[in-house]
Structure 1
């Protein structure tokens, strides 16, 4: 008689456990482990800093993408923000909005909100084909949008994205970022738009250590 073979799978939380998890806290832990780079770096704003938030190490990670999307959707629900689509500037926003779109579909099947399509914003209109600057949505069917970026420092890339979508006739329902470095950008954005961040830079640096960041 052939012996039985038992396949033992890794411990994976059931769907219900995932759905009741504290996505924001788990995302914070992951960002602290994977996305803090220590050392002298030049920021997009031109300023120098002793540390850098490289959120793409988290937002392009399978678990990180999952957690980011849920945390963003929870934030939108918490503040009652309704939108037809979510997009943002290249390239930091691109993995975020793709994950949000996918997870919003899964949540809608469970009666939690409705699907939130994603769109991408080019720095310049495409030089061939349909010559679009906003990709992924039919502008005639969209009105209210959320603009998101991974990190807000001076806010320049976000402001450029906002100008592009408003010139296309879209209404900005809210502006989000994963991390607010509190370096002036969020103050500029709040002058005209509802602005929310999942974390401040100080929150992420609070318990992060060089050894933890370097071990990613």
Structure 2
């Protein structure tokens, strides 16, 4: 898929949002791709996952043995990537604040893993998820995401394959430009409740 075709999928799902958004990293942005909406249609999710799987070099694809994604946002994306690659898909979650495999998910020692995300902004949660996989015995040899929002700055420590790169400015909460500050800040997924100054909506 071309970049225009990928963006068309997001627009068709009404998933390309404009406004003042609080990202999971705490940074602020005037634009947001709501992956939950684009993934709610299984056929669309399958098209995007298939296109992303095709971007991973065959030599690397052939070495992969499992897909792991971070909950919650990466669960559907990871499941679809597992289907596209013909691999089991698992997820890590934070029951006590630190990512870990639960629910009976296990990795064999040295099992090769693709870390799958919906969106990468700073790469911090991806690196934390990679550490959890390694702590569980797995070996993350590549990462992928539907959207790379890092403006090319995310370093995950492994080859990284995004379906699309969306270079949108982000700002710390204390450096938001006036035109953006004039718009109520919302946390995607909680659009009905504006955030108080410096406080995320829930």
Structure 1 equivalent of residue 133 of structure 2: 165
Structure 1 equivalent of residue 92 of structure 2: 121
> Does residue 1:40 correspond to 2:20, yes or no?
yes
- Measure, in 2, the Cα distance between the counterparts of 1:57 and 1:79: 32
Ranges in structure 2 where 5+ consecutive residues have no aligned partner? 169-202
Structure 2 equivalent of residue 93 of structure 1: 74
Question: Alpha-carbon deviations, 1:120-143, whole Å to 9, x = none?
Answer: 111137xxxxxx724464423761
Question: Alpha-carbon deviations, 1:12-66, whole Å to 9, x = none?
Answer: xxxxxxxxxx487643320243321110111111111111111111122122211
- Measure, in 1, the Cα distance between the counterparts of 2:37 and 2:79: 15
- Measure, in 2, the Cα distance between the counterparts of 1:77 and 1:184: 20
SS of 1:154's equivalent?
coil
Aligned length, in residue pairs: 164
Structure 1 equivalent of residue 120 of structure 2: 152
Using the size of structure 2 for normalisation, the TM-score is: 0.70
Ranges in structure 1 where 5+ consecutive residues have no aligned partner? 1-21, 105-114, 126-131, 204-216
Q: How does 1:134-213 map to 2 (within 5 A)?
A: 134-135=102-103, 137-140=105-108, 143-183=111-151, 185-186=153-154, 188-189=155-156, 192-202=157-167
Match of 2:8 among 29, 38, 58: 29
- Measure, in 2, the Cα distance between the counterparts of 1:92 and 1:79: 28
More helix by share: 1
Larger relative contact order (Cα-Cα within 8 Å, sequence gap ≥ 6)? 2
Q: How does 1:76-87 map to 2 (within 5 A)?
A: 76-78=56-58, 80-81=60-61, 82-87=63-68
> Does residue 1:51 correspond to 2:31, yes or no?
yes
- Summarize the Cα distance change of 1:183–1:136 in structure 2 as closer, same or farther, 3 Å threshold: farther
- Summarize the Cα distance change of 1:144–1:35 in structure 2 as closer, same or farther, 3 Å threshold: same
What RMSD, in angstroms, separates the aligned Cα atoms of the two structures?
2.7
Contact 1:73–1:100 (CA under 8 A) maintained in structure 2: yes
Contact 1:121–1:135 (CA under 8 A) maintained in structure 2: no
Structure 1 equivalent of residue 45 of structure 2: 65
